[in-house]
Every structure is written in C-alpha cells, then in structure tokens.
Copies of this chain bind each other. A is one copy, B any other.
C-alpha cells in the first residue's frame, strides 16, 4: 500500500475511534446529541436563540459552537440558560471529534441531557465527519434558493431531520417549496421535516417537540 494511503487511513481511523468513544460516553451519560449543520447565515444561531429558553427550562442543556475565527455565536446564546462553549477551529472547515471532546471536557456539573453542537457554517465538509452525535440536522434557508438538497446531497442524505428556515420569505422570494421537499423525498424520505422562521419565532414548537421526545427517549435507554 503506498505511504500516502496508509497515513490517510490511519488519520481517518483515529478520527472514527474518537467519535465512537464520544458516542459511548454520551450513551453512558444519556446525553442526546445533535450536530446542527448548514451554510453561513442560514440561521443556526438564531434557531438556538429561539429554542434554548424553552429547552433549557426542561433539560440540562449544553451548547458547543464551532466557528472558524470568532466567538460571536457563543456570545449570542451565552445567557439563554444553557452552558455554552465556543470551539474555534482556527481556519478548519468542520468540527472534529477531538475538538468536540475538548468542548465536552470544559462543561461543568453533571452531564447534560441535551447537547447541541452547532457546526461551522458550511454545507459540505461537516457532513462527512462523525462527531459522536445521535442525529445530524440539516438546515437551509429559503434565501439560499430551493436546489440546496441536490447540490449538497451528502448532508441531506445523512440527516435525521431537515429544517427549512426563513419560511416567512417564501412569497416575496418566490421560493419553490414543493421542489425543495421533493428533493428530500427522493434523497432521504425518512427525514423529518420542519418549516420555520427562527428570527420571527414562527413554527418553532414542532421542532422543540421533536427534540423533547428524543431527549426523553434517550433518558430511558
């Protein structure tokens, strides 16, 4: 086997093993973990702002926020009832399991019942990395246009749920909602589907109910 292949295989193997260790720890601690993935500005942090107050009232909740260079997002959600840790990738395009491990080790007190990991704003790379999550959540926004699922299929194929945000702009932007969901029906028919407007706090409840059911189920494992 050529050296290049050998080394890459070793790196990937170590990454997979760290993800498996994280998943085992989350199982032991009964922490339900989501990996929230979407492009820049699709509304991931705004969704956290819209949901954390309700979730953190019911469950011990922690948030890890991946960002290339700043702590802006973590500052936005710092006072909403969840422990928050910023993970700066220093230029890297996705969160690695080892960086998630660092974030988890920073959390104080008993393990959270819900851990939300907001990945780096990127529809491509984070989709390919296991970080020990129970579910990847794909998020895109009406403002990005309707063809995102077929253009970035890996993420939408792997996700347990798909969130279409900024739904209040469907009409002014003449967004083709039917086409959007027809792609999901083809790529990943099992995915649960949410349409909401995080900034306007519109249609947030079904998403909170979905998470709540899964957090409770994990508590009973």
Judge whether A145 and B41 touch: CB under 8 Å: yes
With A3-B7, A124-B125, A125-B125 known as contacts, the answer to whether A150 contacts B72 (CB < 8 A) is yes
Q: Could you list 17 examples of A-B contacts with CB < 8 Å?
A: A39-B123, A39-B144, A40-B148, A40-B151, A41-B143, A68-B154, A70-B147, A70-B151, A72-B147, A91-B128, A120-B124, A121-B123, A121-B124, A121-B151, A125-B125, A141-B143, A143-B144
User: Which chain B residue has the least Cβ–Cβ distance from A166?
Assistant: B143
Does residue A153 face the partner (Cβ distance < 8 Å to B)? Answer: yes
Interface string of A105-128 (1 = CB under 8 A from B): 000000000000000111111001
Kindly state the interface size class of chain A when it binds its partner.
35 or more
Q: Is A1 an interface residue (CB 8 A)?
A: no
